[in-house]
Amino acid sequence: MKPTDISAPDYFHKVVDCQWACPAHTPVPEYIRLIAEGRYSDAYMINWRSNVFPGILGRTCDRPCEPACRRGRVEDTPVAICRLKRVAADFKDDVKHRMPKPMAKNGRRIAIVGGGPASLTVARDLAPLGYHCTVFDSDPKAGGMMRTQIPKFRLPDSVIDEETDYILDLGIEFKGGHRIDSLKQLLTENFDAVFVGSGAPRGRELEIPGRKEAAANIHIGIEWLASVSFEHVSKIGKRVIVLGGGNTAMDCCRTARRLGGEDVKVVVRSGFEEMKASPWEKEDALHEDIPILNFMVPVAFIHDNGKLTGVTFQKVKAEYDAKGRRNLVPSGEADETINCDDVLVAVGQENSFPWIERDCGVEFDKWNMPKVDAKTFVSTNPKVFFGGDAAFGPKNIIWAVSHGHDAALSIHKMLSGEDITERPLPEVIVSSQKMGIHEWSYDNDVSNDKRYKVPHRDKVIALKDIRAEVELGYDVKLALGEAQRCLNCDIQTVFAAPLCIECDACVDICPMDCITFTDNGEEEDLRTRLKAPSLHPDQDLYVADGLKTGRVMVKDEDVCLHCGLCAERCPTGAWDMQKHLIDMTHAGTSCPSKARSAA
């Protein structure tokens, strides 16, 4: 194998599994260490710079970081990264004075359609650079789906208000209650760029017999959630069936439980395991006495002269073809009818662009989606950019934020006369953590604690009040315990072959048997000759040559605990523990990383 080029920013970035998995590439271990130190405001600002909505995401993020967390490969459960983010938001001091100060207006005007996470990220990145950003939203307040579709018992209004205000206070013009009905019209209004972050606002229909006749008691999930959010709806029947297995379905059933639903059931086509909903959201629903029935396909709404009485389901089973694709085929059991008073349909969301004329330069593909460049987020009209669910269909908040950052960077480069396809590398700050012979500027002792549970409000009380937040968040003590579980994967093991005397001290002390000194070979062959078996070929091997015996040092990054014992036991300092703080490049210098002191 060729020696590893550790100066390539992606190499060590990949080792920080959580940060690599995060669409916005939040420097997770860095903020977790700050939480452990009680520096909540600093931890919050790192998050704010990277993911814009720490308080909101700390409650609602889909957490792609957690399945990636190294801790999940070392023991059973990953670090509760998401809920630690909330800790930073909950315990921070007033951070208003730390927000960027807008530069003088540069005369450029940006129209931003939709007031959700992608749009607000674009505004947050561009406004401090002097751009005049105008955000249009049909709802009176900013937040988009975060405000309308996520129930208040998961995400209180106060959190949304606080974090949307940080952005709107940067001198952004917010036009609430102002729906954009024509892109053509908007393009005539002399904006220098348009960003479309209008989401995937349409709930998918379920066209089966009885749908029209019983329409009065059949509601589309996201629309119903929005009506609840705006307090247009305040009750539902006693017996409720929720159709669908995604996170919206989980929000629907739990909301129904709080609006009078006593017998609420979720019914899904697939198996329980394959449901799209996040495992923790399913858990929360089950905890609120909501059964989830699987392998049942709705075939008809049953009604009595237009009054809904139930839903009939066909029972199916999963069969897998040669290619491993799943097909749901009838199991042969009798159909089952479940009686109910109301049905909530949460079987997916769709994009909808009736307001974009097909002749204004924005081309659409055969699925009626705008043609958007996956890197720059520009459409076929060089002035029009897309992001969030509007770009590539429904995803989640953290993806929308990531799109927003990239689109803002494109807009800024375009309006600065630069090539938008050239994407700057992340900024990497490297610093040795050595303080003394056996002292490091990070806590290298590995905690053996199991994942801490987030305290919940008592169920009886929680179900009575739709605005009572269910999760209470970690207290300081629990947060500290959980923060200590982080393995500090950004503190990298850096090897200097010229200093190595091949004494094997690192090999002997490494608790995870990560390090091997052996003859070089092709990667496939090397992986068979490691001291401990290579379990995850997607995890890199760190190879260094230049040793006196002609062998190479091979380190399997897979389950390294970053405990620094290799460096402590090294007599010559050939191993060093160096922090690689990787900061993604955003538009301009809206939030220069220099503004915060190194942790």
When the beta carbons of 439 and 465 are compared against other proteins, the nearer one is 439
Does residue 533 touch other proteins according to CB under 8 A? yes
Output the smallest distance, CB 381 to other proteins, in A: 51
User: Which helix or strand (DSSP H or E) is residue 553 part of?
Assistant: strand 552-556
- Which positions from 148 to 187 touch other proteins by CB under 8 A, shown as an x/- string? ----------------------------------------
Strand order in 575-583's β-sheet?
Answer: 427-432, 575-583, 491-495
Output the smallest distance, CB 34 to other proteins, in A: 21
Does residue 289 touch other proteins according to CB under 8 A? no
Angle at alpha carbon of residue 583, lines to 581 and 587, rounded to 5°: 165
User: Any idea which residue has 């923790």 for tokens?
Assistant: 280
Output the smallest distance, CB 558 to other proteins, in A: 8
Output the smallest distance, CB 478 to other proteins, in A: 22
Can you tell me the distance from the alpha carbon of 165 to that of 8, in angstroms, rounded to the nearest whole number? 38
From the list 202-210, 259-267, 530-538, 576-584, the region that binds other proteins by CB under 8 A is 530-538
Does residue 430 touch other proteins according to CB under 8 A? no
DSSP letter (8 states) at residue 238: S
From the list 55-63, 159-167, 190-198, 506-514, the region that binds other proteins by CB under 8 A is 506-514
Residue 500 C-alpha from the chain's centroid: 41
Does residue 67 touch other proteins according to CB under 8 A? no
Can you tell me the distance from the alpha carbon of 83 to that of 90, in angstroms, rounded to the nearest whole number? 10
Output the smallest distance, CB 511 to other proteins, in A: 5
Number of residues written out for the chain? 599
Output the smallest distance, CB 598 to other proteins, in A: 23
28, 240, 563, 599: which one binds other proteins (CB under 8 A): 563
Can you tell me the distance from the alpha carbon of 11 to that of 417, in angstroms, rounded to the nearest whole number? 31
- Which positions from 434 to 473 touch other proteins by CB under 8 A, shown as an x/- string? ----xx----xxx-x-------------------------
Task: Please enumerate in sequence order all residues whose Cβ is within 8 A of that of 356, keeping only pairs 6 or more positions apart, or say none.
Answer: 183, 196, 362, 370
Can you tell me the distance from the alpha carbon of 381 to that of 371, in angstroms, rounded to the nearest whole number? 10
When the beta carbons of 8 and 501 are compared against other proteins, the nearer one is 501
Does residue 406 touch other proteins according to CB under 8 A? no
Does residue 75 touch other proteins according to CB under 8 A? yes
Cβ atoms of 346 and 276 within 8 Å: the answer is no
Does residue 497 touch other proteins according to CB under 8 A? no
What are the structure tokens assigned to 443, written together? 């806590």
Can you tell me the distance from the alpha carbon of 483 to that of 494, in angstroms, rounded to the nearest whole number? 24
Does residue 570 touch other proteins according to CB under 8 A? yes
Does residue 77 touch other proteins according to CB under 8 A? no
User: Any idea which residue has 């608790």 for tokens?
Assistant: 511
Coil/strand/helix, residue 218: strand
Does residue 73 touch other proteins according to CB under 8 A? yes
Does residue 565 touch other proteins according to CB under 8 A? yes
Output the smallest distance, CB 486 to other proteins, in A: 14
Residue (of 577, 490, 553, 532) closest to 14 by Cα position: 490
Output the smallest distance, CB 187 to other proteins, in A: 57
Output the smallest distance, CB 545 to other proteins, in A: 17
Does residue 571 touch other proteins according to CB under 8 A? yes
Angle at alpha carbon of residue 253, lines to 336 and 58, rounded to 5°: 145
Q: How far is CA 596 from CA 43, 167, 433, in A?
A: 10, 19, 18
Output the smallest distance, CB 479 to other proteins, in A: 22
Coil/strand/helix, residue 263: strand
Q: Where are the alpha helices (DSSP H) in 169-246?
A: 183-187, 221-229
Residues in the site for other proteins, rule: CB under 8 A? Answer: 73-75, 438-439, 444-446, 448, 501-505, 507-509, 511-514, 532-533, 535, 548-549, 559, 561, 563, 565, 568-572
